[in-house]
Structure 1
Amino acid sequence: MTAILVLEDGRTFRGEAYGAIGTTVGEAVFATGMTGYQETLTDPSYHRQVVVMTAPHVGNTGVNGEDDESRRMWVAGFVVRDPARRAANWRATGTLDDELVAQGVVGISGIDTRALTRHLRDRGSMRVGISSELTDPDELLARVTDSASMTGADLAPEVSTSEAYVVPAVGQKRFIIAALDLGIKTATPRYLAELGVETHVLPATATAADLLEHGPDGVFLSNGPGDPAVADYAVEAVRGVLDARRPLFGICFGNQILGRALGLGTYKLRFGHRGLNQPVLDRVSGTVRVTSHNHGFAVDAPLGRAVDTPYGRVEVSHVGLNDDVVEGLRCLDVPAFSVQFHPEAAAGPHDANPLFGRFVDLMAAEHDQPAGEHAVSPPPVVEHTTGEKS
């Protein structure tokens, strides 16, 4: 069955239906990862986005019941050039095409994803529609232009847990933390559990009082979708945590929320960072890490100096080497830090993995406990990665 893809500026691509039959609209973004498509599809940070895969061949390892990063697929649509004709991996429990159909994800295949990606790089991320029902591009374009923009979209509550739950520590329990679920991935509490951390996951709209109710040793701010400029509820909760001087660590959307809580601004990137190969400079240690990203917004902060905030001095700790985007913050007078990338990354890379250990060390310092080497080894391939990653 044929399908069409129409961008907000009118450019049209024709291909074949892939996944569910229907019509969908969202923000067109491209992801540069060569592996990990199952993790991408189930990452809540992709809510309301149509993901274009730059890797030409997708679906070769099928899908399985172990690698999902959340309870469902969140992408609004999926675009690939050359879908696998069959799954060929010993861990596969089904095909990607069948899973897309089962979860109602509308997609398109057989188009020039390189040309589409270059267009988005030149023109910036924009709204897009995919349809295997409509044949008139103008009709689909009308639906695209009537759809909501990502700017001003408050999406974290839509992907967050509705009720609090606990992920226990593995082995000896050292610390208890409260995690604000703005779109948390399952890998995050799993990594923390390996370090002896019990994680209490709370809904996105939890208040500071909720986060601090049981006296946690630290607070974690997760990744998530949408525009941080409208997530005032999360900003207020973080300010309450900072007032209490509780150790705090944020990633991705959590980095942006911490920035806002400190009084810094945020802005929308031209086409964002999404993939597994983003080089980031750690300005504190002088090292470069290859990192996993998924963000369309960033923190606005000066790179050359520390700034004064209501919570003391704050400096940019990490910067993206491709475009000098702020990729991390470090508070100098309160126990808080954040990064824009993903230390829990699946399918990798794992360069940033030791940041979880840094969070544990920060909590240990508050309790006058000895710090240690807490780098977590990547999970065994058999448990948490797809066969294509090994």
Structure 2
Amino acid sequence: MKALLALEDGRTFPCRSFTGPGEASGEVVFNTSMTGYQEVLTDPSYSGQMVTMTYPLVGNYGVNPEDVESARIQVAAFLVKEYQPFPSNFRSTQSLADYLKGQGVLGVEGLDTRALTRHIRNGGAMRAIISTTDLDAESLIRRANAIPSMEGLDLARDVTTETAYRWQDGRPEFLAAGEILDAGIWRQRETRPSVVAIDFGLKYNIARCLEKAGFEVVVVPAATEAGTIMAMAPDGLFLSNGPGDPEPVAYGIETTRELLGRLPIFGICLGNQILGLALGGRTYKLKFGHRGANQPVKNLATGKVEITSQNHGFAVDMKSLSSDDVEVTHINLNDNTVEGIRHRRLPAFAVQYHPEASPGPHDAAYLFDQFRAMMKTN
């Protein structure tokens, strides 16, 4: 089935749907990972975006119920060069096409992903629309220009959990209203440090890694206030990844600011940006973002280079932060952007990349142990 992708700057790309008729819009971005398309599809940080994979053949290992990062597909549309309709993998329970169709997400193939990626790399991530029903280029370009810009969008509210839950044995266990303030919320208090994770778009594998590192984890909605978190009496606070522009997430920034110095804090991705904003800094939108499983990051404390998995379109502006209070701990070796920060005196640190990424490099798994060690010294 014929389809047409139109970008806000007037560039169009013919393609064809492998999921049937449909239409989708959002910011179009690219991911350079060779594997992990199911994790990409279900990562809440991709909310509001149409993702194109630079690896040319997608779908060859199917999908399964385990390799998900949230309860549903989060991308607005999925764009590939060539779709493989016959998966070969002993873990596969469903084809990629059936998976997308089952959740009403448009998937297209036959798209020149190399040309699209080069165009985005040169022109920046931009608004776009793809359709099988409206194939008029001028019409689609006009409609693409009417899509809200990613800058200024608070998408954390769209993807956060509505109900708090305990992460137990690798899966969420939802709590009844008011149960988070119950004295018995922490079941393993005597043997495991407790962590409240604020869900701005939390990937399941972050919760898995926190649990594996020995934490007892309760996940709360993005707008949970500092007073509620302190009443839960956790040993630490985790700030999750998430989609959209960090600056409109004023409620999360204020909560983080109020808890600075009162709890050890660890943030990942959007959590890094929120910590930076809570410390008085600013953020800015990257030209085309960092999305893939092969980004080199230098740990400035050790001098070691970590190969990391990343998915973000915004970054912390270190010039906006006081060097007396905050220091850069990691930088991206491709463009020297900030990949990690920490407060010099308070127990708070964060990284822009994803140490929990699966599949992906495990070079930065030590950060979860660092978080736990911070609790012992606090």
Smaller-chain TM-score range?
over 0.9
Q: Structure 1 residue 341 and structure 2 residue 353: aligned?
A: yes
Q: CA deviation at 1:218?
A: 0.2
Instruction: Please tell me the residue identity of whatever aligns with 2:312.
Output: H
Q: How does 1:216-365 map to 2 (within 5 A)?
A: 216-244=234-262, 246-302=263-319, 307-308=323-324, 313-365=325-377
Give 1:20 deviation, angstroms. 4.6
Q: Does 1:54 align with 2:54?
A: yes
Distance 1:20 1:224 in 2: 29
- 1:1-390, aligned counterparts within 5 Å? 1-168=1-168, 173-244=191-262, 246-302=263-319, 307-308=323-324, 313-366=325-378
Note the C-alpha offset of 1:336.
0.4
How far apart are residue 126 of structure 1 and its match?
A: 0.3
Unaligned residue ranges in structure 1 (runs of 5+):
367-390
How far is the alpha carbon of 1:282 from its aligned partner? 0.5
| Cross-structure match for 1:369 | none
Contact 1:169 1:196 in 2 (8 A): no
2:310 maps to amino acid: H
Identity %: 51
2:85/2:97 contact within 8 Å kept: no
Which residue identity lines up with residue 123 of structure 2 in the other structure? R
Distance 2:214 2:121 in 1: 42
- Report the Cα distance in structure 2 between the residues aligned to 1:90 and 1:130, rounded to whole angstroms: 33
User: What CA deviation, in whole Å up to 9, does each residue of 1:95-138 have, x standing for no partner?
Assistant: 00111111111122101100100000000000011111112111
**Alpha-carbon shift at residue 25 of structure 1 (Å):** 0.6
**Corresponding residue of 1:384:** none
Provide Cα deviations, 1:168-218, integer angstroms capped at 9, x if missing partner: 479983200110000001111111112221111000111111222211000
Contact kept? 2:198, 2:224, Cα under 8 Å: yes
What's the counterpart of residue 184 of structure 2? none
Q: Residues 155 and 20 from structure 1, CA distance in 2 versus in 1: closer, same or farther, beyond 3 angstroms?
A: farther
Query: Residue 264 of structure 1 aligns to which amino acid in structure 2?
Result: G
For the Cα contact (< 8 Å) 2:27–2:126, is it kept in 1? yes
2: CA distance between counterparts of 1:169 and 1:74? 24
TM-score (norm 1): 0.90
The C-alpha deviation readout for 1:360-382, integer Å capped at 9, x for no partner, is 1111222xxxxxxxxxxxxxxxx
Q: Deviations over 1:260-300 (max 9, x none)?
A: 00001000000000000000000011111000000000000
CA distance in structure 2 between the partners assigned to 1:173 and 1:30 by the alignment: 43
Distance (Å, rounded) in 2 between the aligned partners of 1:128 and 1:9: 9
Alpha-carbon shift at residue 234 of structure 1 (Å): 0.4
Q: Deviations over 1:115-169 (max 9, x none)?
A: 1000000000000111111121111112211111100000001100001111147
Instruction: Give the whole-Å Cα distance in 2 for the aligned partners of 1:19 and 1:143.
Output: 22
3-state SS of 2:138 partner: helix
Structure 1 CA distance, aligned partners of 2:12 and 2:287? 21
Instruction: Give, in whole Å, the separation in 2 of the partners of 1:226 and 1:20.
Output: 28
The total of aligned residue pairs comes to 360
Greater mean alpha carbon deviation, residues 211-220 or residues 43-52: 211-220
* Secondary structure at the counterpart of residue 67 of structure 1: coil
- Give me the TM-score of the superposition, normalised by structure 2: 0.93
